Amino acid sequence: MTDPADVALALVAILVLGGALTWALPSLLRPVLWLVANGLYRFTVYHRSRVPAQGGVLVIPNHVSYVDWLVLWVACPRPVTFVLWGRYYRNPILRLFLSWARRNTVRVADHTTHPHAVNSSLKQIAAALDAGCVVVMFPEGALTRTGNMLPFGRGIERILKLVTTDVAVVPTCTAGLWNGFFSHGAGRILWKWPKAFRPRVSVLFGEAIKMPTPPPPSPKGRGRRNLTL
């Protein structure tokens, strides 16, 4: 009969080996996350083809739970880059976990003592879009506590004014995560029992909105670019 201690030791060894491999080879992370997402949820993606196959894409989803990034990472047909607040990296535990996604994140500085830091971060996001990346940015800036969407910040508008190439904006919706273990719905976040085993969760990609390349500045430097979403 197999010793339970040996089984536990083997599982720990597998986890350590898997963690080391995915850290050293980030390309292995997506298949692992696919297994996690489909293990936690009955997962459906609608209109994945609406994400352009080439060029810079700005994906703007709603933000209802701490695992929005997981389902979006798995749902998107292309590799993604996430925009994160710099404060997440000041937490040593989160910084350790985020090191696995070090090639898939852009930090937005939130130090009020550095007035130009946010603008520098927005330029990094614009540069990633101009390089043809798919960038996921939560325009609300925080998790909803009511299930309703929060007002958008001005970050999207500012980024689209900085890009120099045609960028597609893809509005995106996640459904089924509200009232779940990782959301503020139906009780304190992370302090309630899941209501269902493998609940149904879906991601829906909207029609892409193509942002035109900005015109060259006028000789007098008065050229303007007006973009609205």
Query: What CATH code is carried by the domain that includes residue 200?
Result: 3.40.1130.10
Nearest alpha-carbon partner for 133 in 59, 69, 68, 203: 59
Tell me whether residue 9 is in a domain. Answer: no
Tell me whether residue 49 is in a domain. Answer: yes
Total number of domains constituting the chain = 1
Tell me whether residue 228 is in a domain. Answer: no
* Sign, Cα dihedral of 61, 201, 84, 130: negative
Q: What is the distance between the alpha carbons of residues 228 and 221, in angstroms, rounded to a whole number?
A: 22
| Lowest-confidence region among 30-39, 60-69, 102-111 | 102-111
pLDDT tens digits, 52-79: 999 999 999 999 998 999 999 999 999 9
Beta strands 80-85 and 57-61 are unpaired
**What is the token pair recorded at 225?**
């670019």
Q: What is the distance between the alpha carbons of residues 56 and 134, in angstroms, rounded to a whole number?
A: 6
Structural domain boundaries, residue 189: 42-211
43 forms bridges with which residues in the sheet? 201
Q: What is the pLDDT of residue 228?
A: 41
Q: What is the pLDDT of residue 192?
A: 83
Tell me whether residue 226 is in a domain. Answer: no
Tell me whether residue 199 is in a domain. Answer: yes
pLDDT band at 15 (very low <50, low <70, confident <90, very high): low
Q: Whole-model pTM?
A: 0.80
The answer to whether 108 and 86 have CB atoms below 8 angstroms apart is: yes
Q: What is the distance between the alpha carbons of residues 148 and 146, in angstroms, rounded to a whole number?
A: 5
Tell me whether residue 216 is in a domain. Answer: no
Three-state secondary-structure class, residue 11:
helix
Please identify which residue in the block is written with the tokens 């090191």: 99
Tell me whether residue 32 is in a domain. Answer: no
Q: What is the pLDDT of residue 92?
A: 78
175 forms bridges with which residues in the sheet? 202
Tell me whether residue 36 is in a domain. Answer: no
Q: What is the pLDDT of residue 146?
A: 87
